[in-house]
Structure 1
Amino acid sequence: MAIKRIGTQTIKFVNPPLLISTASIVGPKEGEGPLGEYFDKVLSDDLFQEVSWEKAESKMTKEAISLATNKAQLKIPDIQYLLGGDLLNQLIATTYAARDLQIPFLGLYGACSTMAESLALGGILIDGGFADRVVAATSSHFSSAERQFRFPLELGNQRPLTAQWTVTGAGAVILSEKGKGPTITHVTTGKVLDYGIADASNMGAAMAPAAASTIVSHFSDTGFKPEDYDLIITGDLGIYGGEIAIELVRNRGLDIMKNYSDCGIEIFNGKKQDTHAGGSGCGCSAVVFCGYLYKKLVEKKYRKILLVSTGALFSPLSLQQGESIPSIAHAVTIECN
């Protein structure tokens, strides 16, 4: 019997896993944004002394994992599973980091929802008694994502106002069966939704229905109310996707506007940094959570947050073939002890 399952899509942990440390590494543009002081490391060069954007992204992932492990006063062999992913084909940024670290690895692809997905599955491993210590890590890089999904940077293509700026960054979280830190208490797994959006420069609109669906399901399953949370924050819907999500949730009878935000809005100053609709990418919710939100939870400035990472599940091939963009969102409740 699934005794930890409540409602249709949600898990309530019996032994909530602790988040005992985090680490975040970001590129120069992210470091210049409003949250710059909260990141552990801000790169002066987004190539990170490597010969390609992809190698730089993998190096960020590896160093974020190592830093989070050190901050938890652990060693790499103490970590029993690495769960993570990125936006690149075959998860090469995370895979090559896992090759070097030699932690048993479960590669995940949820696009920009991967941070919440890895936290959810890591929590399930710990609450289920399958592991004592797990690391969840995700990354993205503006230049590697542009090269794979859009246009070579050298072309200097114009970006429409609905476009978002892929975050250069990597975040890692150590989940543990014991220790000190905030806990994951609930996980709501999303469904893949597709409302027919086929514009890769308007991913906020594509992902908003999935975010709204998961948020509504979470409140229906748990019986919580929006006001029970200090913050409900989506992964990277940006300005326009966030507005759509708020309206879709309101149409289902819930008002989240008072305590809603979005990681893609928080990480950049859109006007000063010319990021149009905001940030995106696997690294977006990863570094905002691992840098800013985690510190606020530890300081108990936030007592309870709902992190809803959102992902557009398309590929360069599906885009070239004119397919629409399916999307998903996963929600994780994180509380102070």
Structure 2
Amino acid sequence: MRNKRIGKRTMKMQNSPTIISTASIVGPKEGKGPLKDKFDVILSDDLYGEKTWELAESKMIQTALETAVQKVEKQLDDIEFLFGGDLINQIFPASFAARALGIPFCGIYGACSTMALGMCLSSIVVDGGFADYALNGTSSHYCTAERQFRFPLELGNQKPMTAQWTVTGAGSALISSSGEGPKVKYITIGKVVDKGIEDGNNMGAAMAPAAVDTIYSYFEDTKDDPKSFDLIATGDLGQLGKKITADLLRQRGIDIFDVYTDCGLEIFDLEQQDVHCGGSGCGCSATVFASYIYPKLVNKEFKKVMLVSTGALLSPTSTLQKQTIPCIAHAVVIESE
């Protein structure tokens, strides 16, 4: 019985799962950006007291998950599902965090779309009556991502201006069947889109068509009006990808320009911080949503928001084998009631 399906790809939540808390933790560079006063934790050291960057990333996501639970005075034993992932091989930062937390764990990989994907899955299990509390979170780290996907930092390679800066940060959201807070109303699951981009230093151009596909599908399915939104935020397309997305949607009859931003442009000051096209990484949309967007929904400064986290599904192996970059985007529509 498909009574929760709207159109081809969008699901309507009948029981309005509630986002009852969020949490964010970022590195030193992010802590000097425009949102510096909004994060729960700002690290003074990228290693976070650990021996490796990967273990530091795992500790970051664990901190974000624990903080979201503590904010609403719940216990880890109250949480019935944990959805999490990251960019690193076999999502070991998230898996190691789940080992410490002891919550039933569904490891997910959506690259930088993981925050929205986790929120989609958490909303589905809560709306379906399978859980009262579902926790999700994700992370990224500049040093771990550079080591895995690009070049060792010691080489000091120069990046082209189309490149972005991977956010060192982790964000989480706790979704409940009851309680006060913004409600998840719709989710739209993305399709894998590949327009033939091969350049791993031009991720905004690679991911923009996937964002366009998901955003257009939501409006096609629901017949909603872009003007009804206070904010539509893509995950980490950066300066170039944001422009491509807005232009391609306008060509298809959807004008989001007046309400559109990209999390990769919110987290850094492009004029003062050397990040080229902006921020990227799983932690980009996760920390911006948790620290900036969610509080505005709680305070009713935003009444209706669409978060569209975007991800590039490449790997070091696919890059070495000269494959193009498949991408995906997932959308969550949240309303403040």
Amino acid at match of 2:292: Y
Q: After TM superposition, give the deviation of residue 223 of structure 1 in Å.
A: 1.2
- Off by >4 Å, runs of 4+ in structure 1: none
The SS at the match of 2:29 is: helix
Structure 1 partner of 2:331: 331
Matches within 5 A, 1:158-237: 158-237=158-237
Q: How many residues align?
A: 337
Which residue does 1:24 correspond to in 2? 24
**For 1:55 and 1:270, how far apart are their aligned partners in 2?**
29
Which residue is equivalent to 2:42?
Answer: 42
**Normalised by the size of structure 1, how large is the TM-score?**
0.99
Hey, what does 2:63 align to over in structure 1?
Answer: 63
Q: CA deviation at 1:72?
A: 1.2
- Give the TM-score normalised by the residue count of structure 2: 0.99
CA–CA distance in structure 2, aligned partners of residues 276 and 213 of structure 1: 26
Deviations 1:156-199 (A, max 9, x none): 00011000000000001110001111010000111100000010
Aligned counterparts of 1:220 and 1:49: Cα–Cα separation in 2: 48
**Post-superposition offset of 1:11:** 0.2
- Counterpart for residue 260 of structure 2: 260
- Whether the 8 Å CA contact 1:84–1:136 is kept in 2: the answer is yes
Whether the aligned pair in 2 keeps the contact of 1:72 and 1:174 (CA below 8 Å) is: no
Q: What is the distance in 1 between the residues matched to 2:152 and 2:117?
A: 30
Q: How does 1:45-194 map to 2 (within 5 A)?
A: 45-194=45-194
Q: Distance in 1 between matches of 2:89 and 2:222?
A: 36
The letter of the residue matching 1:194 is: D
Distance 1:277 1:225 in 2: 29
Q: Is the 8 A contact 1:136 1:174 kept in 2?
A: yes
Root mean square deviation of aligned Cα: 0.5
Cα distance in 1 between the residues matched to 2:91 and 2:217: 29
**Aligned to 1:258, what secondary structure does the other structure show?**
helix
SS at the partner of 2:181? Answer: coil
Q: Which residue of 1 aligns with 2:246?
A: 246
Q: Secondary structure at the match of 2:20?
A: strand
Distance (whole Å) between structure 2 residues aligned to residue 259 and residue 20 of structure 1: 25
- C-alpha displacement at 1:271, in angstroms? 1.9
Once the two structures are superposed, what CA deviation does each residue of 1:101-160 show, in whole Å capped at 9, x if it has no partner? Answer: 110000000000000000000000000011110101000000000000000000000011
Report the Cα distance in structure 2 between the residues aligned to 1:246 and 1:267, rounded to whole angstroms: 20
Alignment partner, residue 290 of structure 1: 290
Amino acid of the residue matched to residue 303 of structure 2?
A: R
Structure 2 residues without counterparts, runs of 5 or longer: none
CA distance in 2, matches of 1:10, 1:283: 25
Q: What's the offset of the Cα at 1:270? A: 1.3
In 1: Cα distance, 2:63 partner to 2:225 partner: 38
1:320 corresponds to:
320
